[in-house]
Every structure is written in structure tokens, then in C-alpha cells.
Amino acid sequence: MRYDAVIVGAGHNGLAAAVRLAEKGWRVAVVEEKATPGGAVKTRELTLPGFRHDVAAMNLSMFAGSPFFQAHGQALLRNGLAFVPVEDCFASVFPDGTYLGVSKTLESTVARIASISPKDAEAWKAMVARFGADAPHIFAMLGAAMPSWGTATAMWKALRQRGVGWLYETLKLLVASPRDFLDAHFESDNVKAMMAIWGLHLDFAPDIAGGALFPYLESMANQAFGMVIGQGGADTIVKAMVGAIAEKGGELRLGARVAAIDVENGVAVGVTLASGEKLVAKHVIANVHPQLVFGGLVKDDARLRTYQAALKKFRAGPGAMMIHLALDDLPQWRASEALRRFAYVHIAPDLEMMARVYAQAAAGMLPAEPALVVGQPTAIDPSRAPDGKHVLWVQVRVLPAAICGDAAGKIAGRNWDEAKEAYADRVLDLIEAHAPGLRSRILGRAVFSPLDLERENPNLIGGDSLSGSHHLDQNFFLRPVPGWSRYATPIRNLYLCGASTWPGGGTGAGSGFLLAKALAG
């Protein structure tokens, strides 16, 4: 069988590329070794029948606001895509029994901030106003290939409309640490903590350069636009993309492992499946971690040595753990009944704690007090559980891939299969401290350690949900390696996409869409 493109890996970036290419008339096949598509965007009954859990990704705001959705939204909606809007987006709880949260209604957020700092409430309103003017320019730059005329055009347009001073401020934002950025704008430690935790959703502790952008964008975007999750589960985007691909004559092959990417005279010509079947293609797109592509799927070649050596230095971010709970009721948060309405409740009370947990994980230690993202999807979308029941989505950030010890000195296990249940108990203890009685509400539990996440999706090396650190030395035009940020590889007609390439992790489908646009317009 001959194709215009074979795409290896049915994660959402690979599927987005297939949607675009099929729309442009290309004959496309997506090949996936797992029995279900989606990569890190899957929804399954992990605990009990009728309880649907997002295995990894839950927040679909980046997808809903993406250029890919703008271009192909009608086809996706036609194939069943459905979002559920979130009014109360995220909150942080604090040891003194208080909380601070961001709701889409500006007055609600400002009132909460004003109760602890009137000055910060005014600073928040000013930042939201600036974001309204800044966002089109920032998102235009982040939504273009890196580097490209699109990036240059976006910068030039911003320069003309906003002036040189704005450009300097934006460059400062791009390289600043979360602490430096937040100290420059707010006085309340609680406001700073509420925003800074978004840095740990990636791999930015408070004092790491380049970490200010994500807390700024997430906080302001949630304030300005709210958040969305998928109706029935995050896999709504996957089902819709699969439907859109089929609608245009594309193919999806599941349970079909690629044994090798076939290369002749330095040109990719197709793939060989583990079954022995060969798929011939003009282009091969690997929606796979580049270290797996050039450490196994592509035969060793002396012409690739420099490129492979650079890829070996591409660092993973810290690991994560996922804990999925089936509940007979939502947590009863000590800080306020209102917290039961929020999509995310963060347990990470101050910047010092965030710095400490990152340092412990980087040293190979199980953090004594991990940072937690507690997702409450059934507070917004009750369809994910039986009537009156709920699911809880808990992401533990950040953790070591390999365990050298326990910072609390209590867990003896030195591999994740031994340590994961005890560590999950530590996490539940932390939640219970803020939501007494949680354990009495648990009907079922499923724990995915960093090792389990890699088993679930080999691209998540060491449980790194980002498929590569986003620190400045391997981000923007340096991702995954300098000189190869525009999805091409030293093998002609072999391309990379996915979270290991620009614009990195998240559900925005940016790399798949940008690559497909470059190939087919």
C-alpha cells in the first residue's frame, strides 16, 4: 500500500497532522501500537464500571483555543467533539484554612484577592487589561514555527502596534523566573503561590529562568476565557479527530507496532510493521519521542552521529504520578464549600515549598510534601460517573524517575513498583488534611507511578508528561536540538512532531498542525 504520508503514533499531534493532510487531499495512514488512539489524551474506566477517568491530560483549554481548532473545528464538531465550559477554574488552598481562586467572572476573582491585598487586586485588574492587548501578539508568536517568517511577522506587528518598550517587557517575561516575575507585580505570598504552581505543571520551580511565561498565560487565560474540559472525557478530541480522518478517507491502524522506519539513500520511504508488512510513503511523520526514533526505529548511520549525539543530551523533565479515585461524593474542602465547584484545586502553599519539592525530586528523593493538582471533572461534567458519584483526578508534581531515597525517611522502596502505593497514601494524607473525610468517600483507586506512565505511553520517559524539559536551553528554536526545531530531521522526508518538538507539551496540537501546514499548506 502506498501513501502520501504515514504517521507513526496516534497521539493528538499525530492525529492533528493527519486531519490537516487528509483535508488537503493526501492519502494518510496513522499507525499506532496501542489498542486505542490518543497517546496522553485517553479516558478509561480505571477504577469501577461507569467511572470515566482521564488517564493523563484533563484540561482542553489549549486545544479549544488552538489554531488547529480554528481551522478544523467544524469537522471536529461534526464528528462529536463537545466541550464543557468551566466558570470556576483553579484555586489554591493554604495551611491556615483559607483559599484563593480564579473564576471567569473578574469581579469574583478580584474580590477574593482584595480580601487579602487591595493593592494586589488592583495589580490583577491591570494585568488582565494588559493581557487583553498582549495576548494576540504573544499567541501569534507561540503559534508559529520556530524560527519562521511567521514568528518574525508576529514580532514586527507587535513592535509596530505596541512599541519597543512592550517588546522589551515581553522578552523579560520569556526569560524571567516565576519568583522574579511575581515579586515584581504582587505583594501577597498567596497570590504568588496561586500563580506559581502553574510553573510546576511544566518543570519550572520558582527560581528557574524561563518559568514565568506559563503561570502568566494560564492565570490570565483562565481569567479572560475560562477553562474547558471534554464532555464525557478528554478523549472527545481524539474520537472527533479519528472521525474527521476517516471522513476524508484516511486510515487508522491500531495494535500495529512499527518495527522500523525504512530509509534508502538518506531518504525515508515508509515503515515496516512488526508483522512484516511494509507501508510505502512519500513522507514519514514520527509522533514519537526523538530518542526512541533515533535510538531504535531508524538504523544507525554514520551520517546521523552528530544529530544523535545532540538528541542524547535532550533531557526529560521530572516525573509525575497520577492517582484516580472513584468517590461517592466530592471532597469536603475545609477552606470553603465553594471549592467543590472548581476544576482544579492546587495543594502547594508557597514558593519555598515548590522550590523544595523540585530540589528533592531532582536529587532522586521522594518529596516529603509533593505539589498536588486535584482535578474535579465531575463537578463540571457529571456524565463521567454514575448519578450522584464522582471521579477525582490527582496529578502529583514533581517526582524522580529513579528513586534514591525518601526525603521523609519513611518509605523503604527504591523502585516505583515497590513504593507507589505507599507514596499514594502520602498524597491522600495531604489531601485529607485539607478535605477531612476524603478516604471515607473512596469507592475505588488506581495509581500510575512515573514508571507506569512510561509503560502506558513510552514517549513519557521516566514519567515525564512533557516529553522533555522546557528549560530555556531546549525550548523555542532549540527544541529538540539546535538547528532542527522545524520538525525536519537529517533524513529527508522524515519529520518529527509531538511534545518533544516546538511548541512543547500541552493539548494545543501545535506541532502536528504546524508541520502539516508546512507540508501541505
pLDDT band at 301 (very low <50, low <70, confident <90, very high): confident
Q: Could you give the CA distance from residue 166 to residue 185 in angstroms, rounded to a whole number?
A: 16
Q: Per DSSP, what are the bridge partners of residue 366?
A: 406
Burial 320-340 (b: 16+ CB within 10 A, else e): bbbbbbbbeebbebbbbeebb
Determine the pLDDT at residue 24: 98
The half-sphere exposure of 72 on its side-chain side, counting CA atoms within 13 A, is: 34
- What domain range includes position 280? 2-42+65-83+233-314+467-520
Label residue 521 by pLDDT band (50, 70, 90).
Answer: confident
Q: Nearest CA to 457 among 287, 318, 328? A: 287
Q: Residue 373 has what pLDDT?
A: 98
Q: In 10 A of CB 253, how many CB atoms?
A: 16
Output the pLDDT for position 430.
98
- What is the number of helices (H) and of strands (E) in the chain? 17, 20
The helix/strand/coil state of 131 is helix
Residue 304, domain member (yes or no): yes
pLDDT of residue 167: 87
Q: Do the domain assignments include residue 206?
A: yes
CB atoms within 10 A of CB 517: 18
| Cell numbers representing residue 43 in the block | 479516558
Reported confidence tier of residue 458, pLDDT bands at 50, 70, 90? very high
Q: What does each C-alpha distance from 396 to 320, 350, 374 come to in angstroms?
A: 6, 16, 9
Tell me, yes or no, whether 309 and 254 share the same domain.
yes
Residues 208 and 274 in one domain: no
Candidates 85, 86, 84, 82; CA nearest to 69 is 82
Phi, psi of 362 (to 5 degrees): -65, -30
| End residue of a domain, out of 168, 189, 219 | 219
Answer yes or no: do 147 and 188 share one domain. Answer: yes
Q: How would you classify the pairing of strands 371-375 and 390-399?
A: antiparallel
What lies within 8 Å, CB to CB, of 25 at 6+ separation is none
User: Does 1 have pLDDT greater than 80?
Assistant: no
Mean pLDDT throughout 132-148?
Answer: 93
**CATH number of domain containing 239:** 3.50.50.60
Residue 91 in domain: no
Domain end: 187, 219, 251, which one?
Answer: 219
**Cα gap 424→420, rounded to integer Å:** 6
pLDDT digits (tens, 9 = 90+) for 347-382: 999 999 999 999 999 999 999 999 999 999 999 999
303 and 266 in contact (C-beta within 8 Å)?
Answer: yes
> What one-letter code names the amino acid at 399?
L
Averaged pLDDT score across all residues of the chain: 97
Give domain status of residue 179, yes or no: yes
Banded pLDDT at 460 (limits 50, 70, 90): very high
Of 521, 512, 503, the closest CA to residue 139 belongs to 503
The pLDDT, as a whole number, for residue 349 is 97
Whether 344 maps to a domain, the answer reads no
Asked whether residue 54 is assigned to any structural domain, the reply reads no
- Is residue 185 one of the residues assigned to a domain? yes
Q: Which of 167, 196, 219 is the last residue of a domain?
A: 219
Whole-angstrom distance, CA of residue 245 vs CA of residue 148: 28
Residue 172 and residue 199 share a domain:
yes
Report how far residue 163's alpha carbon sits from residue 60's, in angstroms, rounded to the nearest whole number.
33
Measured in whole angstroms, the distance separating CA 280 from the mean position of its chain's CA atoms is 32
Total number of domains in the chain: 2
The per-residue pLDDT for 302 is 86
CA distances from 192 to 116, 178, 282 (A): 12, 9, 50
395: Cβ–Cβ under 8 A, 6 or more apart, which residues?
320, 321, 322, 372, 373, 375
Asked if residue 27 belongs to a domain, the reply is yes
* Closest of 80, 73, 115 to residue 94, by C-alpha: 115
pLDDT in tens, 181-240: 999 999 999 999 999 999 999 999 999 999 999 999 999 999 999 999 999 999 999 999
Split at pLDDT 50, 70, 90, the class of 520 is: very high
Of 227, 466, 200, nearest to 350 by C-alpha is 200
- Give the integer Cα–Cα distance in Å for 483 and 491: 14
Over range 409-436, report the average pLDDT.
98
Angle at 504 between CA 499 and CA 505, to 5 degrees: 65
**Same domain as 175, residue 199:** yes
Residue 150 to residue 143: CA distance in whole angstroms: 9
- Map residue 477 onto helix, strand or coil: helix
What's the pLDDT tens digit per position in 471-507? Answer: 999 999 999 999 999 999 999 999 999 999 999 999 9
Q: Which residue has the cell 469574583?
A: 108
Tens of pLDDT along 251-276? Answer: 999 999 999 999 999 999 999 999 99
